[in-house]
Amino acid sequence: GSGGAGPRPPPGCPQRRLGARERREMQREVLAVLGLPGRPRPRAPPAAARLPASAPLFMLDLYHATAGDDDEDGGPPPRGLGRADLVMSFVNVVERDRALAPQEPRWKEFRFDLTQIPAGEVVAAAELRVYKLPSPRQGNRTLHVSTFAVFAQHANRESDLFFLDLQTLRAGDEGWLVMDVTAASDRWLLDGTKDLGLRLYVETEDGHSVDPGLAGLLGRRAPRSKQPFMVTFFRASPSPVRAPR
């Protein structure tokens, strides 16, 4: 094979360089075995906005955690992925913060592009993952983080929101906050929503609204390994019949 980094076969193993036609045939063959319709062409990210690393790091851990199941002999679905055989993580494409009038609740909204979800897939579970830093301003009081799906937006009145999850934490906590947004998936599968908005509100015990950013919830301006992302587990569908070779 060609030089360059990457594992090299042990010495003495017969190797052969693939010709152009062979390479195309091998690509088609391996794509078929991997169950991929074709070779995706990821968009090269603009240099300034390099891709967040949080989703790939999470998914790589998931890949290694379930790789051991690849040698099971076609028995019941593996434990690692449960009933899922397709897991998609979505990068947060747009982020909006809102704090108009002081008395209005403040929120932080993340939007996700769902166009790549294959038709006919059934969602088993979906999570929004946001990293939280300790927020010294809040001392160590209790905070409630509510998550809503934005179903419809209106120019002259509040958006139509759908409650998804409530988490209670301490202001001094740090780490990944995992919100269950599975309930929103019925909607986006039924009406083919391609642009999903998830909105976070933070309140104190006595109901005062807190700016999610001041509460330590990170957004797109966070370090690449701590940017928010969404993960969706799709229910196992019957494996495609492998065409005999």
Binding site for another protein (CB under 8 A): 1-2, 4, 6-7, 9-10, 13-15, 17-18, 23, 26-27, 30, 33-36, 39-43, 45, 51, 55-56, 59-60, 62-64, 66-67, 69-74, 77-78, 81, 85-91, 113, 115-116, 239-240, 242, 245
Nearer to another protein, 64 or 98 (CB): 64
Give me the phi and psi of 144, to 5 degrees please. -115, 125
Least separation, in Å, of the C-beta of 205 and another protein?
37
Residue 190: its H or E element: helix 183-190
> Tokens 């993580």 correspond to what residue?
89
Instruction: Work out how close the CB of 81 gets to another protein at its nearest, in angstroms, rounded to a whole number.
Output: 6
Residue 123 CA to residue 86 CA, distance in Å, equals 10
Closest by CA position to 146, among listed 109, 104, 195: 109
Query: What is the nearest approach in angstroms of another protein to the Cβ of residue 75?
Result: 9
Q: What is the C-alpha to C-alpha distance for residues 220 and 191, in angstroms, rounded to an integer?
A: 28
Minimum CB–partner distance for residue 215 and another protein (Å): 27
For residue 165 the two structure tokens come to 């999850």
Q: Which is nearer to another protein, 61 or 160 (CB)?
A: 61
- Which H or E element spans position 230? strand 229-235
Give 121 or 180: the residue with its C-beta nearer to another protein: 121
Whole-angstrom distance, CA of residue 15 vs CA of residue 90: 38
Nearer to another protein, 93 or 166 (CB): 93
Q: How far is the CB of 13 from another protein (least distance, A)?
A: 4
